[in-house]
Chain A
Amino acid sequence: MDRPALKNSPTAERRSIWLNYAVLLYTAIAFAAVLFVANAIISTGNIRWDLTPSKRFSLSEFDKRVLGGLTHNVKVMAFVRTEDPAYLDLADLLFQAAAFTPRLTYQVIDVNKAPGLSREYGVSSYGEVVVESQGRRRDFDNARSDELIPAILQVSSAANKHIYFTIGHGERDLFNSDRTLGYSQWRGLLEQNNYQIDNVSLFASGVPEDARVVVSLGPRKDFLPEELAALARYLDHGGHYIAIIDPYGSPALVEFLKKYYLDFIPQVVVDPAYRLTAGEILTTQIPLRSEENPMSRSMSAPAVFSLGRGVMITGAVGASAPDDLRIAQEDKFLSSSHESWASNDPNALTTGITEYQAGRDIKGPIPVASEIDFAPASNPHIPVQQMTRLVGIGSSAFASNQFIEMLGNRDLAVSLINELAGDEMLIASRERLNKNETAAFYINDQEARHMLIFGSVVEPAILFLIAITVMVRRRFFA
C-alpha cells in the first residue's frame, strides 16, 4: 500500500524510519512463516506424479500389497552416511512407505554421529539397513534399497518356508563362503526372502513333509536307488524339484530324470560369440530367454554360465511319465545362441579350445535351463502350483559366489526358488525392479560430436553474431 511522504522533523523522521524498518521486518518474517507452515502442511500429503515409465520412484502394487497387509509393527533403521547422496533415494522410499502405513516407522541414523547406536545394532558399514518386527531382524545394504519391501515381508510374515538341498553326492555347499567355490551368497539371498535353508539326506529320511522345494546342486556322485525312490515319491505327490547338474555329474540321477523327459546331455556347451570379453569359450552369456516363463522374464540381464551342459526336453505335452503323471506344460526357458553348439570334443573341457564339427557336435541353440510340469492323468487341469514341477539347469557355477553377481545370475538364482515355492509376489517385485526405462542404445562418436557442434558451437555462435550486429548498429547507426 502507498504511504504519504514523510515531512516531519529529522528526529521524528528517524524514529519513523526505524518503525517502518521494524514493520517491514515483522511483515517479512510473518509472511515467511505463513509460507513455511503452508508448505509443511502440503508436504505431509505426499502427493506426487511419477512420470518415469515403470513408476520406479513410487510404491508399486506389490509394495502396497505387502505394506497394506502388515499385521505387526515394523521398525526400519537405516545406518547411513548423510554425506552420501545415494541415501536420499532410500530415505524417500522409507518416507513413502511410512506415509502409506502407520505400522511402519523408520529412523535414518548417521553412523558417524551415532557410533554407540551403530555398535549396539552390530552395524559396521555405511548404508546398512536393519528391519525389525516380532523379534525378527533382517539386514540389507543401502545399495540394494530395492530389498526393503522383501525384507519387510520377511520379518513380518509368519510363514516358515523350507527349502531342502540334497547332500551325500558331492553337492555344492550352500554354507561354504569361499569366494569362488562357495555358495553362501545364494543362501543369504534366499534367507532374505524368508526361506529356511536345510540340507536333507534322501537316504536317511526321504523328503520332509514341509519341503516347498528340493534342490540338488551340482551332485557329482550317483544317487542310490533308495534315494531315487524317495525322490520319485516326492514328485508323485506334486513335489517341486530343481536338478542342477554339471557335465558328467551323477549319471544315475540323469538317467532317473530321463523318465521325466528331462535329458541332461553330456556335451558341454560352447558359444564363442557370447563368451565374456577376452574370456574362454566355456564361460558365456546365455542370450536366449523365454518371455513366457516368470523365472527368465524377471532377469535384468542374460545369465552367465560356465561349463554348462544342454538340458533337452524329450517329451511333448500329454506324454506319460512315471506314477501316471502327464506333461502339462514344458518350457526351455534359457538357451545358448544360434552360433553355439554342444561339443563332443573330449578336449573341450580340459583345454577350452574346440571347433564345431558337423556330425560330432550338436548345433545350437542348446537349451541350458528347462522346466516340465506334470499333472495327474486323472486331473489334468489342476493349478500350476499343485503340479509336479521339474526344473533342470545345466551348470551349477551360475549360483556360486564367483558368478552370482554377474549380469542376470542373481535374479535367476532367486527367481528359481521364488517360482517353485509359489512366491509370485517376490517374482513380481523383481520383474518391476529389473524393468529398464528404455532399451540400451548406442550413439556413435560422430553423432555425439554433432551434438557438441550444434549445441555448443553453432547455436551460441548465432547468438554471438546477433550480439555483434546489435552492438555495431548501436555504435555506428544509432
Chain B
Amino acid sequence: MSNAAGTLEVAGGATESRRAAIRAAGTGFSVGRMLAVTRKELRSYFAFPLVYVLSGVFLVLAGYYAYTDLVFFVTIAFARDIIQNYWQLLFSDIRLCLLLTLPFITMRLFAEERKLGTIELLYTYPLRDGEILGGKYLASVAIFIMMLALTMLYPVYIYSIHSFPLFPLSAGYLGLLLLGCAFIACGVFISSLCESQVMAGMGTITLLLFFWILNWNEAAFTNSWLALLRAFSLFDQFGSFAKGVIDLDHVTYFVFFIVFFLFLTQRSMEARKWTGRR
C-alpha cells in the first residue's frame, strides 16, 4: 500500500475514534470546543515572535501612511474635508498594509501544523472540522483586531488636536474589519491546501491581488462585464466604507466572501479523508 494510502488509513482510523469521542462529548457544534481551539491558537501565536514582528511591520507602514497622508491633507488639500482628504486616503493605504501582512498571519494555521505533523494529532482530538476551523479563524481575527486597534492611535491623536465627525470613521473601521476578515478567510483556505508556509503566504497574496486587479484594465471589458467584475472586486467594495457610507450589499458581499472561503476550507479539510492528503 502506498504511503498516501497508509496515511488515509491512519486518518480514517482517527476519524472513527474522533466520531466516537464527539458522540461521547455531546452532539452538534460546540462553541466551547471551538473557543478552546481559539485559546490554543492564540497561545501559540503569542509564544512566537512572528505575530509581534508582523504587527510591528504593519504599524510602521500604517504609521508612515498616517503621517504622509496627514501632510497631504494639510498642505495639498488645505486641511479641508477630513473625511474625503484624509480618512478615505488613509483607509485605502491601510488596506494595502493588511494585504501585505495578514497572509503571513494566516499562512501558519494549517500549513505549519501539516509540516510539523501536529495536524494528525489535531484531527484525533474529539473535535469537529467546523470547530477546528472556527477556532483557528477566530484566533486570526483576534490578532487582526488587535493590529487594527493599535491604529486607533491616529484618530485619537488627531481628535485631541481638533475634533471631527466620528461616525464616518466608524464606517471606515467597519470596512477594514470586514476586509481583513475576508483576507483571513482567503488565507485560511490557502493554508489548508499547502504544506509550506511560504507557499501559503504567497498563494494568499496572489489570490488577493487577483481580486484586487480583477477590473484594472477597463479597456479589456465591456461595460456589463466591468460592472460584474467590480461587483467581485474586494477592493472596490471597500470604497464606500472609506467614504463613511455603509452599503448593505457591500456588507453582504464581504460576509458571503468570508462564508464562501470558510466553506471551501471545510471542504478542503474533509477532502483529506478521500484524497489521502494529511
Contact = CB atoms under 8 A, between A and B. Distances in A.
Chain B at the A interface: SS class: helix
Contact of B253 (A39, A113, A442, A452): A39
A162 to B, nearest CB: 38
Contacts of B5: 13
B43 interface: no
Given A451-B157, A470-B47, A52 B165 contact: yes
Contacts of A88: 239
A304 to B, nearest CB: 16
A109 B12 CA distance: 58
B83 interface: yes
A441 B73 CA distance: 10
Interface stretch (B24-32, B48-56, B199-207): B48-56
Contact of B74 (A42, A50, A443, A461): A443
B66 A52 contact: no
A189 interface: no
B56 A464 contact: yes
Contacts of A448: 67, 70-71, 74
A92 B270 CA distance: 42
Contacts, number: 216
B223 A108 contact: yes
Given A437-B165, A440-B78, A463-B53, A452 B64 contact: yes
B52 A35 contact: no
A112 interface: yes
Interface stretch (B106-114, B135-143, B179-187, B243-251): B243-251
A76 B77 CA distance: 31
Contacts of B157: 450-451, 454-455
B244 A436 contact: no
Interface residues of B, number: 79
B98 interface: no
Interface in B155-171: 157-158, 161-165, 167-168, 170-171
Interface of A: 1-7, 13, 16-17, 20, 24, 27-28, 31-32, 35-36, 38-39, 42-43, 45, 47-53, 57-58, 82-83, 88, 92, 108-110, 112-113, 436-438, 440-443, 447-452, 454-457, 459-461, 463-464, 466-468, 470-471, 474
Given A7-B12, A52-B244, 15 more contacts: A6-B12, A31-B260, A43-B231, A51-B170, A51-B244, A52-B167, A436-B80, A437-B164, A438-B163, A452-B63, A456-B59, A457-B60, A460-B57, A467-B49, A467-B53
